[in-house]
Amino acid sequence: MRIAARALLALLAGALAVPAFAPVEWFPLAFLSLALLVGLLERAASVRGGFCIGFAWGLGAFGAGVSWLTIALSRYGGVFLPVAVGLIFLFCAFLALYPALAGAFYVRWRRGGTLRRALLFAGLWVLAEWLRGTLLTGFPWLAMGYSQTPPSPLAGYFSLVGVYGVGGGLAFVAGLLGICAVAQNAGRWKIFTVLIVALFFGGWAFSRIQWVEPDGPPLAVSLVQPNIEQSLKWDPAYFFEALRINADLLRAARGDLIVLPEAALPTTFDTLPEDYLDQLTRFISERNGALVTGVFTRDDKRHYNAAVTLGEGSGQGYAKTHLVPFGEYSPPLFDWFYRLANIPMSNQSPGEANQPPLELFGRKIAVNICYEDIFGAELIYSLPQAGLMLNLSNLAWYGDSFAQPQHLQIARARAMETGRPMLRSTNTGMTALVLPDGSVPAVQPAFTRGVLEVEVSAFKGLTPYARWGDVPALILALVAVVVAVRVGRRGTLLREKT
């Protein structure tokens, strides 16, 4: 089979991975997608061929999986649609470099038996995904481990080794399947089926371990979803209507803690109408409640994407630390991008690192804003102090797309990793409560205006992931690569001598 045909199959295999994620969540497709990739890599005759196959797989996965980024640029950012498509294609091509490098190194170092090759692929895959989530501020969206939220048998490993470790387990199983399929050896199938079943059983067993426990009585929380169209949000003619919508939803809320989403009040906090701010403060104080609202703040010439509190625990706040390149700030040498796009409040500054949790009603709540919750290793800095996590988001930028359910699935992974409930208040969806076992007992339907009323307890205790972060997964990945390369090379040398 020629390299072009293999690359086309790899492209389709990459696209096949996308339904493994939300909203479809056919998690077995993730195993099939990576198994097909491994099978194609097994047939690659050169490192260049391995790079091309991995690159094509990445183009298929990211092109199908994050195509919704085009909506933000074209519909709301004012970029001419063909230009927006071209820019997102280049971005997906950049992301595809990581599986391409994994494929190239796999072909370069593959040797030895099935087990060693599967370990090599799994180790390389973990390292590639970790690099993608770290370098140049990182973009770990669609890390393969996210596809394995419950009911996947690998979900029990989130609390141990996080999303990258779960992705490594997935890659190991897919490696065994892909290599055995190419070898067509029935004896190997029997042996490795037992190994795969044992891995799945381990995930089930770990999911039964209670690493954390509730801490104190439940707190009544009202999660507000204003459902304001992004094209109207920053329209000056719609400003007072947006304020009215949020105020009406606050009056309808019944919880002790009321939460408005990211940038719910479309201005800076210091420029809000004074009578409107007094109205909110009086309403919250009269009911002895607390309000956390997303709003921009400023300090001299710097703007922050922030959350502030009113009522109980007033005066506290949080400023987003991990900003979105091109959406919230311009990386060096990319000022030209903002001559193409019209993105409000795109000159933001990052908040200070390791900000303390909010203290409300005797509970400590760690806030993260929008896509900050895709960086699991950053969220654990607030533990064990924080008993709850709160995410404020505005995904209206991406319309009715996969972005919302994919983001909710990411929150499920974060809850399992940290052993903390994740409260989500979003503009258009998906506003929800996520429990530490990854379940979602309450969710506000997307693109509806309303208040989601939930009761949730804070949790105490630490999962292994909360203690050590990504370190165990990275160590296991490095060990797998070193063992596979060194043992495989030694076996090759012994055969050459004999």
Catalytic residues, by residue number, are 262, 320, 370
Q: State whether residue 186 is helix, strand or coil.
A: helix
Q: State whether residue 409 is helix, strand or coil.
A: helix
Per the DSSP assignment, residues forming a β-bridge with 389 are 366, 422
Q: For residue 183, give both structure tokens.
A: 């070898």
Per the DSSP assignment, residues forming a β-bridge with 451 are 224
- The number of residues in the chain equals 498
Q: State whether residue 77 is helix, strand or coil.
A: coil
Burial of 151 (0-12, 13-18, 19+ CB in 10 A): exposed
Burial of 300 (0-12, 13-18, 19+ CB in 10 A): exposed
Angle, alpha carbons 319-325-329 (nearest 5°): 60
Angle, alpha carbons 343-347-351 (nearest 5°): 125
What whole-number distance in Å separates Cα of residue 28 and Cα of residue 25?
9
Cis peptide before 153, with omega less than 30 degrees from 0? no
Phi and psi at residue 447, to the nearest 5° = 60, 35
What whole-number distance in Å separates Cα of residue 184 and Cα of residue 276?
71
